[in-house]
Structures are given as structure tokens and as C-alpha cells.
């Protein structure tokens, strides 16, 4: 039985050693910045980072007072990201079908599709240094 315990200890030691080395995973980076639209800070909205290279998880934050912050715990892995920004506008009119069905009013989108559903905005999150982006939308 001592042989089995010794073998088990060696296997466990190997597992611990491999877990300490890891898989080359990089630490998530905090990300922050500001958003202006037509020369004015975007008061409220959302910003979403969609991983392009390497493909991976997405991240995002609420924009409040023209600024956003993603802490390291929820941060982004280094890589290239598409950015989608959305801001609620005034209530959108209901279609006759929506009104007949008793649907609630929804907010319209303040920003043009080129900043959200058809975005081409890209940023590079770097492995070290600051990941701060000041975005100016026209």
C-alpha cells in the first residue's frame, strides 16, 4: 500500500506543478475611457468589446457621464476588439401591431449604426501599460 501512496503523491505533485506553470494564459486588463458624440460627452449608454484576435470572451461597461471603466477582474484579455456603443434616445413610436399587442415603448437608438450594429471601431488591448481609450464619435 505504501507504493500506491507514493505513486499518488507523485501524481498529485505533477498536477500541482502543471497548474502552477499554466497554459500561457494572460491576465485580464482593466480598461477605461471616455466617449464623446458630436463634441459632447455621451451621458448614458453601453460599450461592448467584441474579441476579434484572438477570438474569445466579450466585455463591456455602462457609460455614465461620458466615461466607462472595466476593472481587471472583469477586464479584457490582450488582443484586438471591435467596439459597439449604444445610447438610448427618446421613446420609439410603436408600430400598429405593437400597439395592438399592448407592447411597451422602447427607446430609440441615439447613435448611428456605424457605432453599434454595423461598427468598424477597433482597439488593441495591450498586455502591459494603460488600456485607456478616448473615443470621439461624429
Map out the domains of the chain as residue ranges.
26-137
> Please, what's the b/e burial string for 101-114 (b: 16 or more CB within 10 A of its CB; e: otherwise)?
eeeeeeeebbbeee
Residue 35, beta-bridge partner list: 135
pLDDT at 120: 92
pLDDT at 26: 59
Residue 63 and residue 45 in contact, taking contact as beta carbons nearer than 8 Å: yes
- Report pLDDT digits (tens) over 28-77: 899 999 999 999 999 999 999 999 987 777 899 999 999 999 999 999 99
Q: What is the CATH number of domain 26-137?
A: 2.60.40
- Report pLDDT digits (tens) over 64-101: 999 999 999 999 999 999 999 999 999 888 889 999 99
Residue 61 and residue 20 in contact, taking contact as beta carbons nearer than 8 Å: no
pTM tops 0.75, yes or no: no
Residue 47 and residue 63 in contact, taking contact as beta carbons nearer than 8 Å: yes
Amino acid at each position: 500500500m505504501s507504493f500506491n501512496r507514493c505513486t499518488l503523491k507523485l501524481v498529485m505533485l505533477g498536477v500541482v506543478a502543471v497548474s502552477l506553470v499554466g497554459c500561457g494564459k494572460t491576465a485580464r486588463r482593466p480598461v477605461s475611457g471616455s466617449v464623446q458624440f458630436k463634441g459632447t460627452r455621451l451621458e448614458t449608454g453601453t460599450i461592448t468589446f467584441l474579441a476579434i484576435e484572438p477570438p474569445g470572451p466579450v466585455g463591456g461597461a455602462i457609460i455614465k457621464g461620458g466615461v466607462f471603466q472595466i476593472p481587471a477582474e472583469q477586464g479584457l484579455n490582450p488582443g484586438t476588439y471591435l467596439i459597439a456603443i449604444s445610447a438610448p434616445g427618446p421613446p420609439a413610436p410603436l408600430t400598429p401591431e405593437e400597439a395592438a399587442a399592448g407592447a411597451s415603448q422602447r427607446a430609440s437608438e441615439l447613435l448611428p449604426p456605424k457605432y453599434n450594429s454595423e461598427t468598424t471601431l477597433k482597439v488593441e488591448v495591450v498586455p502591459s501599460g494603460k488600456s485607456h481609450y478616448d473615443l470621439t464619435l461624429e
